[in-house]
Structure 1
Amino acid sequence: MTQLSLSSRETLLEDPPLARFAGLLGEPAAAQALIRLDRELDWQRPTLRLYGREHPIPRHQVWMGSPEARYRYSGRDFCPEAWHPEVTAIRDAVVERLADAGQAAGFNSVLLNRYADGEERMGWHCDDEPELGVDPLIAAVSLGAERPLRFRWKRRDAAAFNAWLPHDSLLLMGPGVQRRLQHALLPRRIEGLRISLTFRWVHPLSASGRPG
């Protein structure tokens, strides 16, 4: 398990760019953000259709952002809830940290996932929906219990690896990550609440349901 010093940056991959930052909000702000998001958001557990059957997702989530940031996933349309002030503050901290690192970024939406413990999970996937455009930049903030995000190469031409995500850390998945790798939050014997926020830019949908 990798321990990061406050405000440090670690490059996990050069190509495609994958980097981890520590100390995004600092304490006590990070702990207070975890408590506030847990208590104040309208956490939902939607069902997704897989192989012809409806299954509740193994976690709770909230889709949030600007009104035009509609998102389609596994055959369902998600309309964003309005920005919560705490989430807006975290988004601004992400943009500032990336700017300090020389990376310009803007985000009009965020998917928040709430994992009550290590048994709740996210399966293998890549964030490559058409609404995200070609080679999107995605920034993922972790609050609460530290867990590893598992990565594997789509071509299976290199070994899979873990990116441990400590409390108050930021993971930057740059252009090419979604095209070349998949990631998953696999079950672990880890106690404690974890909330993740994955910030992204969603291109508005046209009347035909395609990015306009």
Structure 2
Amino acid sequence: MWSPGFLPTTTDEAAETLLDSPPLAVFTGLLGEPVATEALARLAQDLAWQRPTLRLFGREHPIPRHQVWMGSPEARYRYSGRDFTPEAWHPDVATIRDAVVERLDAAGITAHFNSVLLNRYADGEERMGWHSDDEPELGLDPLIAAVSLGAERPLRFRWKTREAEAFNAWLPHDSLLLMGPGVQRRLQHALLPRRLPGLRISLTFRLVKAETSGD
């Protein structure tokens, strides 16, 4: 079992540890080819992508990307004042979820996910602002696993206390970013706009706690 704050030594040569405490690591070659590229194409075409508006500073703004909230029926989620009810698992997304769990298990990390937020970025101008995935529904110090398909982009991290310099985690096609316990409490992350072409879909797997997922 993985202890919080400690990324176990792994024989996975495609794993790069970015931080030991809190644990942050990138695994490459999650699905392999052509599976990863075929999954990217199907998800881009099959899903009912949405562009909801969120209330910020008293005004409604459409998000600068498209998204789908997906998972088990109990995985209801509240974000920026809105409640999201999950769509049923798409077969490709369920396959990716199982591949994530298997890859983490091989690294000595036990994980279970009942939901995923998919974000579709048409190009480098579409983005995600600074935030932490620290909603009450996720419990204290959640483990979150984010899969990247498509164009490579960097996820920018910064310490909430500014105790160290901000840094990039470059996420290539078919990669898995592990954000272990403590990452959401101590850091924020953002997908900042860059002049990088190409479609990118991210799948951020998480466990919503049924006892705290309110109506």
Smaller-chain TM-score bracket: over 0.9
Q: Which residue of 2 aligns with 1:139?
A: 145
CA positional deviation for 1:157: 1.0
Q: Is the partner of 1:37 in helix, strand or coil?
A: helix
| From 96, 113, 116, the counterpart of 2:122 | 116
Alignment TM-score, normalising by the size of structure 1:
0.94
Amino acid at match of 2:116: V
CA positional deviation for 1:128: 0.2
Aligned-partner Cα distance in 2 for 1:139–1:34: 17
CA positional deviation for 1:7: 6.0
CA RMSD, aligned part only? 1.3
- Equivalent positions of 1:101-180 (< 5 A) are 101-180=107-186
CA contact 1:143–1:166 (8 Å) conserved in 2 = yes
Q: Which residue of 2 aligns with 1:37?
A: 43
Aligned-partner Cα distance in 2 for 1:36–1:74: 29
| 4+ aligned runs moved over 4 Å, structure 1 | none
Aligned-partner Cα distance in 2 for 1:206–1:25: 33
Aligned-partner Cα distance in 2 for 1:140–1:7: 19
| From 181, 190, 207, the counterpart of 1:184 | 190
CA contact 2:137–2:212 (8 Å) conserved in 1 = no
Q: Is the partner of 2:118 in helix, strand or coil?
A: strand
Count of aligned residue pairs for this structure pair: 204
Alpha-carbon deviations, 1:124-147, whole Å to 9, x = none?
Answer: 000000000000000000000000
Alignment TM-score, normalising by the size of structure 2:
0.93
Q: Is the partner of 2:67 in helix, strand or coil?
A: strand
Taking a change above 3 Å as real, the CA distance of residues 107 and 206 of structure 1, as seen in their structure-2 partners, is closer
CA contact 1:152–1:160 (8 Å) conserved in 2 = yes
Q: Which residue of 2 aligns with 1:198?
A: 204
- Equivalent positions of 1:2-13 (< 5 A) are 8-13=14-19
Point out where structure 1 has 5 or more consecutive residues left out of the alignment: 1-5
Taking a change above 3 Å as real, the CA distance of residues 51 and 190 of structure 1, as seen in their structure-2 partners, is same
Aligned-partner Cα distance in 2 for 1:190–1:132: 32
Query: Identity of counterpart residues, as a percentage?
Result: 80
CA positional deviation for 1:206: 5.8
